[in-house]
Every structure is written in C-alpha cells, then in structure tokens.
Structure 1
Amino acid sequence: MSPVQSSRIVLFYLLLSLSACFWCILSMFVAPFLPFRARYRFVVQTWCRCAVWLAKTIIGIRYEVKGLENIPQRPCVILAKHQSTWETFFLSALFEPLTQVLKRELLYVPFFGWAIAMLKPIAIDRSNPKAALKQVASQGHERLEQGAWVLVFPEGTRIPTGQIGKFSRGGASLAVNANLPVLPVAHNAGEFWPKEGWGKTPGTVQVVIGPALHAEGNGPRAIAELNDRAFAWVAQAQREIGALDSGVVPSEPVESA
C-alpha cells in the first residue's frame, strides 16, 4: 500500500469518527422529539450517506447498483451478503426506515450505541441462539407491521470475499410468518473494504438487488425452500460479479439469527 493511500485511509477514519461523534451527540438532543420515520432519516440515513460519500471521495470506493426496480413498495425482509462494514452503511442509507439484527453489546457503545438504541434495533444476545431466534421472530414481525424494512445478514457474520456461508433460516422464517417476501442482495464490497484489517483500496462495488422471492406455502418446509432459493440466487449473483470462487463449498451454518 502506497504512503498516499495510507494517508487517505487515516484521513477517512478520522473524519468518519469525528462525524459519528458529532452526529450521535446531536441526535441525542434532536431525535427524541421526532417521529420514528423522521428520526431514522435524521440519525441513520443522513450519517450513513455521509459515510458512503467519505469512502467514495477520500478512498475512491465507488458503487454501481443494479435491480433498483426490484424493490417492492411495501417493506419486507432483506437478506444481504455480508463481507464488510460498507454494505451496512449503504443499505441503511438506501432503505428507510430500516431495522437490523445486531449484537446487543453495540448498544453500550457511548453515543453511537445510545443513538442506535432510539431506532428500534433487534439487539440480540449471540451467546443464546435459541432466545435470539425467538427475539428476531417477535420483534422482526412487529417492525414489519410498523412499516420498517428488516435487514438480516443470514450468514451470521462477515465472510471473506470469494466465499459464502450457509444461510440461517431466521430471515426466511420471519418473512413467511409475516406473509411477506425476502429481497436478496449480492455485492463485492469485501474486495475494497476487507473483513480484516484497516486497509482499503479504490474500486467500484457492484451491488445487485434481486427480485422479491415469495414463499410457496407456509410452515417449516416453505421456510426451508424459500431460504434455499434466496441462498441460490445470492450465490449465483456473487459468481456473476466475480465475487465467489469457483467450486466454493459453503461454510457451516452459523447458529444465530
């Protein structure tokens, strides 16, 4: 990595951190007086757009999106590939209002966690998978009824580029029980914003939004079938954008929501 690129990364993290501190503190005073949708736009959407813009302007991480026409009018469950932090910023800025499944510990982070807590996240205890699944089912259904998108990373954790993890059925189960589709999303953000380390490289992230997938029936069999279809679509889309190595065998399922 060149000294110039290293300097850009340091500047990016500095501005990202400063903007997060400023915006979270400001949100603590403003957000409580706003209705949920306006609160989301003010707290999350504005800052996440700033984060994506900083990555583009300072580091050179641009993006192209295909499939925007596939986004349904009514919010549903988003099943997205997870490779980095970039897609969390991007998807949180694209869909609003959006709630996501996250680690409960994040809510304890000063300012950042406090601001996020005002946005009705589904904060789970990953050390208790069974309780986490029940929480995702109950709170996720409630959020969908309130008109919020629910973002689920079905692999359960960030998977390095070129690989794919098996999908947990939590997201598909939530969609089937709410009689709503899942919206699959593929991308290659990990090529430019890796899972490990602080290094980042310029390039264009390819984001592909698939067609809304509906379950065929109800019950466990319908959930499993929908989950398999979503996985197959994401895997194929990853291959088409060159983000899945040939012959890759999915890693073991992640025992979490």
Structure 2
Amino acid sequence: MSLLYPLRIALFYFLLAFSAFAWCLVCLVCAPFMSFRMRYRFVVQNWCRCAVWLGRSLIGLRYQVQGTENIPTRPCVILAKHQSTWETFFLSAYFEPLTQVLKRELLRVPFFGWAMMLVRPIAIDRDNPKAALRQVAKQGHERLEQGAWVLIFPEGTRVPVGQQGKFSRSGAALAANAGLPVLPIAHNAGMFWPKAGWGKRPGTIQVCIGPAMHADSEAPRAVAELNQRAEDWINAQVQILEQQARNAS
C-alpha cells in the first residue's frame, strides 16, 4: 500500500463532506418542487453515486454485484447486512426510489438532515423500540404502496466483521403484512471499510443479492420463520464472502 494512501483517505473524507454540504444546499432550493421519484434521484441517488465513485477513485474501493437476477420487478423490503457506511451509499444509489429506516437524530444534522427529510425516511427513536416498530409498520407499508423500496438493516447498527447482531423481525413483519417478499443482501464491505476508525483498505467489495423470500402468512410464527431464513442466508453468505476476501489478500 502506498505511503500516500492515508492522504488519499483524508482527501476522500474532505471531498465527501464538502460535496455533501454543497449538494444539500442545492437540494434544499430545488428539490421541494420535484415529484418524489425525481426528488429521490436528485437528492439521494446522484450524491450516493458520487460517494461510491470517490471511494473507488481515491481509495480503491471497487465492487462486484452477484444475483441481480433475483431482484423482483416490484419494490419490496430489503434486508441487508450492516458493517460499514459504504453499503448505505451503494444501496441508496442502486435501488430507487428507496426509503431507509434510520435513527431520528440524523434529521437534526444541519443541511444533511434537512435534505434527508425531503425523501421521506422512516426516522425512528431507538430509545422507544415499541413505538419504533409501530412506526416502521405504518410508514413502511405506506412507502411500499407508493412504489418505494424499504431498506432495513435488521441488526439495527453496524456490526464488526466476524460478528453477528440480533435480527429484528420488523422487516419480515412489514413484508408479510404487505404480501411482499424480503430481498436479503450480503456483502463484505466491513473488511475494506471497518466500523471503527478512519482507516480503509483497497479491494473489491462483493455484494450478493439473494433470492426473494416470502412468508407463508401474516401469523407471528410465519414472520419469525421468514426472518430466521433471511438471517441464516445473510450470515452464511457473509462468511463465504469474508473468507474469499481473506484468501485473495
């Protein structure tokens, strides 16, 4: 790895922050006059593509996607592994329009939070899990009916490589109640963009889109079974992708 690599990481963060600030200012002026789909493309998709491009150009974070044939034609609930910030950028750019479940505090961030409010996120209070579940169920169903993908990180927060968080059933319940499948997504982004620290490692992030999974009914047992099936697939696939990355290094 080049001795200049830390400088490239610093430049990446500077340009990421600067572009976010500048883009949010533009969006706050222009986006309120757009339809939701156009607003999503303008506010989120364009900037997230820029973030992914900066990662690839400056710090060598390339990616490959497997399983694109598994993507349903109709938007549904996406359940994805959460290891880093990279997959937030990537998935927000890859699927559109997309609604993300995020912590309410992010909307209070000047400019960034204000711009995020324009694309109808599901902003939950993590300190009140029961209310958060009801909010995800209600607003998530509304977004699905409006033709948006709903992205949920069922572990709730970023989990370091080699560890597994407890999977919330909220995404599986939302999909079952809407009569739609969940789309599981695994990746190994945490091996190149760790949860802790500013360090990065160049390489090719593998993203694997799994088969759409349906619940047999809306019953709690069927929801639990669907959630477990998605969790098992994601965790098993993540282990495979991480091992492949270790073997290639």
TM-score by length of 1: 0.93
Q: 1:79·1:184 contact (CA, 8 Å) conserved in 2?
A: yes
CA distance in 2, matches of 1:31, 1:65: 30
Q: 2:79·2:152 contact (CA, 8 Å) conserved in 1?
A: yes
CA distance in 2, matches of 1:133, 1:206: 31
Q: Determine the structure 2 residue equivalent to 1:141.
A: 141
Paired letter, 2:138: S
Q: Determine the structure 2 residue equivalent to 1:175.
A: 175
Q: 1:162·1:243 contact (CA, 8 Å) conserved in 2?
A: no
CA distance in 1, matches of 2:84, 2:243: 13
Q: Percent identical across equivalent pairs? A: 70
Q: 2:173·2:218 contact (CA, 8 Å) conserved in 1?
A: no
CA distance in 2, matches of 1:39, 1:201: 33
Q: Determine the structure 2 residue equivalent to 1:194.
A: 194
CA distance in 2, matches of 1:142, 1:206: 32
CA distance in 2, matches of 1:6, 1:240: 29
User: For each residue in 1:79-131, what CA deviation from the matched residue of structure 2 results, as whole angstroms up to 9, or x when unmatched?
Assistant: 00000000000000000000011010100111100000011000000010000
Secondary structure of 1:73's counterpart equals coil
CA distance in 2, matches of 1:24, 1:14: 15
CA distance in 1, matches of 2:243, 2:168: 20
Instruction: Using the TM superposition, give the Cα deviation of residue 242 of structure 1 relative to its aligned residue in structure 2, in angstroms.
Output: 2.4
Q: Determine the structure 2 residue equivalent to 1:250.
A: none
User: For each residue in 1:205-225, what CA deviation from the matched residue of structure 2 results, as whole angstroms up to 9, or x when unmatched?
Assistant: 000000100111221011000
Matches within 5 A, 1:73-84: 73-84=73-84
Matches within 5 A, 1:102-113: 102-113=102-113
Q: 2:191·2:242 contact (CA, 8 Å) conserved in 1?
A: no
Q: 1:59·1:202 contact (CA, 8 Å) conserved in 2?
A: yes
Q: Determine the structure 2 residue equivalent to 1:21.
A: 21
Secondary structure of 1:215's counterpart equals coil
Secondary structure of 2:164's counterpart equals coil
Secondary structure of 2:204's counterpart equals strand
Please provide the CA RMSD for this pair. 1.1
Matches within 5 A, 1:195-234: 195-234=195-234
Instruction: Using the TM superposition, give the Cα deviation of residue 67 of structure 1 relative to its aligned residue in structure 2, in angstroms.
Output: 0.5
Q: Determine the structure 2 residue equivalent to 1:45.
A: 45
Secondary structure of 1:144's counterpart equals helix
Matches within 5 A, 1:120-159: 120-159=120-159
The structure in which a higher percent of residues are helix is 2
Q: Determine the structure 1 residue equivalent to 2:247.
A: none
CA distance in 2, matches of 1:31, 1:77: 25
Q: Determine the structure 2 residue equivalent to 1:114.
A: 114
Instruction: Using the TM superposition, give the Cα deviation of residue 2 of structure 1 relative to its aligned residue in structure 2, in angstroms.
Output: 5.6
Instruction: Using the TM superposition, give the Cα deviation of residue 61 of structure 1 relative to its aligned residue in structure 2, in angstroms.
Output: 0.5
TM-score by length of 2: 0.96
Aligned length: 244
CA distance in 2, matches of 1:180, 1:187: 23
CA distance in 1, matches of 2:200, 2:208: 21
Q: 1:161·1:243 contact (CA, 8 Å) conserved in 2?
A: no
CA distance in 2, matches of 1:13, 1:167: 31
CA distance in 2, matches of 1:69, 1:111: 37
CA distance in 2, matches of 1:105, 1:241: 32
Structure 1 runs not aligned, ≥5 long: 245-257
CA distance in 2, matches of 1:217, 1:124: 26
Structure 2 runs not aligned, ≥5 long: 245-249
User: For each residue in 1:151-174, what CA deviation from the matched residue of structure 2 results, as whole angstroms up to 9, or x when unmatched?
Assistant: 000011100011221211000000
Secondary structure of 1:126's counterpart equals coil
Secondary structure of 1:147's counterpart equals coil
Q: Determine the structure 1 residue equivalent to 2:162.
A: 162
Q: 1:77·1:152 contact (CA, 8 Å) conserved in 2?
A: yes
Instruction: Using the TM superposition, give the Cα deviation of residue 243 of structure 1 relative to its aligned residue in structure 2, in angstroms.
Output: 5.5
CA distance in 2, matches of 1:85, 1:196: 11
